[in-house]
Amino acid sequence: MGMRTDSKTGLRGGLLGRLFAAAAMAAAVVAAPADGWASSRIKDIATVEGVRENVLIGYGLVVGLNGTGDSVNDMTFTKESLIAMLERLGINTRDGKVDADNIAAVMVTGTLPPFGRQGSRVDITVSAMGDAKSLQGGTLLVTPLIGADGEVYAVAQGNVTIGGFSASGQGQSVVKAVPTSGRIANGAIIEREIPFSMNSMQDVKLSLRSPDFTTARRIAQAVNAFLGTRTARAIDPSTVQMTIPPNYSGSVVDMITDVEQLRVEPDQTARVVIDERSGIIVIGSQVRISEVAIAQGNLTIRVTETPQVSQPAPFSTTGTTTTVPRTDIQVDEDKNKRLAIVNEGVSLQELVDGLNALGVGPRDMIGILQAIKAAGALHAEIEVM
């Protein structure tokens, strides 16, 4: 379908289709279209502008480690932090020697959820900064978490839970996962709220996760059809602005709840995504190819060494045992690989169905796709990761 059979070669569908099926066998991922266009909820393809998380960060100390902490004398910031903490507790250690290996300096990170209220708890991540071996069994001391504006929004403290471990002896050591990073579930208490009043808003903006002109317009049309009035309009590929109608005045949450359940068919740009490091290829369903002739072949030289041992006759006094080299060289020039023609307008499904059995690896596929794009026959963007 959409392919032309070469009467001389007997190849149906040509080289390129079998190429894509080889991708499925060689860790290439192909996004095949479903039957008809699948609709998605507005909730899944767009977010409400202003409803977002905020990152938090802090610096603290983990204590109670079983000799796996920082080398205090080598890690200056750990030593100074310990001395400062003890001074706040009324203990002066400036003139004494501080040498502890059960304490570690850590960075504490977390996110402030949208509409997080005072007293609510959030999860945090604790990561060692110095030369600590493990945070297993440690306890994070009170650590203020600040936002991008420098204000304190939460305070963290609790027992650190790690997903790995480390053990060592004189001759061997074992490390699983990353024992220098852990989490504290519900380890931070929100102390400051971000003021945000939705019910007083006069308009609401939806931000598309994947900006697209067509998708933005379809969202606006779906909202207007549901509300029965022209209240939504696409102001750019990533934003749809909705004016609050009189029947939803003071009930913006109700309006957003109703709107986000509406279904639209998101459009997408024809794109081929290539990860050269892993050889993964992802092809969008909108990718099309103009008529093009393709040939692909590799020169393979195989050298096999099979040395043989030559021994003298039994009871011989003059002969010696020697090794006789034997080399077998085979050259495969892929003479049976010929040009194959792919007709214009071939879809992704036809490509996958047409080219199914060619043993070409992802690396060769990447080169062929880039060559087709350079020839102007691949009507899609190629994004190399």
State pLDDT tens for residues 73-98: 888 888 888 888 888 888 887 776 77
| DSSP for 28-69, written as a single string | -------SSPPPEEHHHHEEETT---EEEEEEEEEE--SS-S
pLDDT at position 27? 36
Classified as helix, coil or strand, 81 is helix
Q: Where are the alpha helices (DSSP H) in the chain?
A: 14-25, 42-45, 76-88, 213-227, 252-259, 348-354, 362-374
Q: What mean pLDDT is predicted for residues 6-16?
A: 40
Q: Say if residues 188 and 121 touch (Cβ distance below 8 Å).
A: yes
pLDDT at position 112? 94
In the structure, what pLDDT confidence band is assigned to residue 304 with cuts at 50, 70 and 90? low
Q: Which residues contact 233 (CB under 8 A, 6 or more apart)?
A: 220, 240, 241
Digit-coded pLDDT (tens) for 317-366: 676 777 777 767 665 555 555 555 555 666 555 655 554 445 556 667 77
For the chain, list the domains and their CATH numbers.
14-34+272-384 (no CATH), 40-49+197-264 (3.90.1150), 54-190 (no CATH)
CA pair distance 266, 243, nearest whole angstrom: 22
CA pair distance 340, 328, nearest whole angstrom: 33
CA distances from 348 to 49, 258, 283, 291, 293 (A): 35, 36, 8, 14, 17
Smallest CA-to-CA distance from 383 within 368, 370, 364, 372 is with 370
CA pair distance 45, 259, nearest whole angstrom: 12
